[in-house]
Chains A and B, each alone.
Chain A
């Protein structure tokens, strides 16, 4: 945020009471004239962002994903998307790994709702370094509405600034031709570990980091389907409507192959330590590897 602010004088940041919690406090301190506190009033925040964008500013509004994407959906649909405005919406603490706060605060439907809106770009970076690159890209390269999904529980920051972040261009993190794991957000790290488990059994799993859910990288999906013949998707999100659905929509049109989904099975989360929750809801490397083994048997 800070770097985006230094590089782009048009960037304006809006706060909805949890400014420090979503990492916007440095921006507020550095650019007090470009930060506006708007209180616990997310629907208004989105409308204000639309007004700022109509006047040529680049507003960034971040709060917890549940509120950023879901409490405000109609405002995002009409005031932002229908007006095709360059508003950057950050959905922080997304996924079940927000942990002890429980189901109300675990955004597990945000990808589905955001990606269905016309004109919306949906980004879901895999670690802290990529989150920064995604924010810069959303501010500097997009011209319409953008939703960026951020996780909370610290996963290893395994990518580097040298790894190009191109919106709509998936990244292959592990080569392999026996099947493909397409993951997004924190699940990319789990997918890489799953590939290691599979490697030990002599299975080469391709791992794709789908950091852009929309526009989705069709070429990468079609190539994976053709070359590996099976796809498993992994996301900290409901299996309905999220990454898996987006991948399936492309695959069934162009190159249908056996596919399965790792994600939340149409249910709410609950309180617990992040690790315990990931375990209980099968959002782990082991669960992905297990699913991959089942899937590979379905290959023709």
Chain B
């Protein structure tokens, strides 16, 4: 039985939800005193679109067989996933303040062994999530199931060779129920992708591997929903959405600053960050 919560399609309402999720991310990271703020803020809109508008799921029944699967390959942006799951109703929002603490269900990188509802995969070592998504999609194919598999990759992560092994396999087996979202913020720990290890022309790379490629503005809900709609109508090949995002999106003072990849706000910075999120 499909118990998917009512899907939100109003961009304004989605923006409001995303803003609340971003505030929760800031609070939880400040409380944890460590974690990855930049990418978590950058992906908040994509997560909001997925869990509030796109996927079939049931927060009251996280293992519902027909649910769409969301596989987070870049485990370091777990704070964004956790905040989204909490705001979607998988567990209390207050639990977000246990992030990264001893005994918490909210591990620094997702760990299913700690029992947090809504996690599809324990992950954190880069380059593995797409392979797992291919396995999930093959299982659905064997069983004639129709749910979709969404996999979130970072752009820096695309430097891992195993991503391309998986990309080849998904196209070879015509897994059109896989949609990859690349968090294309252009930055990684050492600096810009193009300085660290050139990725462009990225769309040509995916096309050459047999994928349908969609570009979208990762902070424009109309564009995001259009991209997911198009991905769902492609037959015979998997789809990748190259979502242009801004690392640190919403807190203007840290936007596009790669030094915020793996940093948490200090308690003193929190009020200012929350203020910026309220007005952005």
Residues in A lying within 8 Å of B, measured CB to CB? 12, 33-34, 36-39, 41, 43-57, 59, 74-75, 77-79, 82-84
A136 to B131, CA, bound (A): 26
Interchain CB contact under 8 A, A51 and B125: no
Chain A residues near B134 (CB, 8 Å)? Answer: 44, 47-48, 51
B162 in contact with A44 (CB, 8 Å): yes
Cβ of B166 and Cβ of A47 under 8 Å apart?
A: yes
Q: Which chain A residue lies CB-closest to B120?
A: A54
A44 touches B112 (CB 8 A): no
User: B142: which of A50, A57, A82 is its contact (CB, 8 Å)?
Assistant: A57
From residue 153 to 176 of chain B, which have CB atoms closer than 8 A to chain A? 161-162, 165-166, 168-169, 172-173
The answer to whether A43 touches B121 (Cβ under 8 A) is: no
User: In the assembled complex, which residues on chain B have CB atoms less than 8 Å from the CB atom of A84?
Assistant: 112-113
Beyond A48-B134, A52-B138, 4 additional contacts (C-beta under 8 Å) are A37-B172, A44-B162, A47-B129, A48-B138
Specify which chain A residues have a CB less than 8 angstroms from the CB of B168 in the assembled complex. 39, 41, 44
Contacts known (A39-B168, A78-B125); A51 close to B162, Cβ less than 8 A: no
Q: A33-B142, A55-B140 are in contact. Are A83 and B122 (CB under 8 A)?
A: yes
Known: A51-B133, A54-B136. A78 touches B113 (CB 8 A): no
Given contact pairs A41-B165, A74-B125, A83-B112, A51 touches B142 in the complex (Cβ within 8 A): no
Question: Residue on A with the closest CB to B132?
Answer: A51
- Chain A residues touching B, majority SS: helix
Residues of A within 8 A of B136 (CB): 51-52, 54-55
Query: Which residue in A45, A46, A55 is a CB contact (below 8 Å) of B139?
Result: A55
Q: A21 to nearest B CB, angstroms?
A: 20
B80 adjacent to chain A (CB < 8 Å): no
B140 touches A50 (CB 8 A): no
Q: Tell whether, in the assembled complex, residue A43 and residue B131 are in contact, meaning their CB atoms are under 8 Å apart.
A: yes
- In the assembly, what is the distance between CA of A43 and CA of B122, in Å? 17
For A38, A48, A59, which residue has the most chain B Cβ atoms within 10 angstroms? A48
With A50-B131, A50-B132 given, is the CB distance from A41 to B169 under 8 Å? yes
Query: Residue B11 at the A interface, CB < 8 A?
Result: no
Contact with A along B126-151 (1 / 0, CB 8 A): 01111111111111101100000000
* Nearest-CB residue, chain B, relative to A47: B131
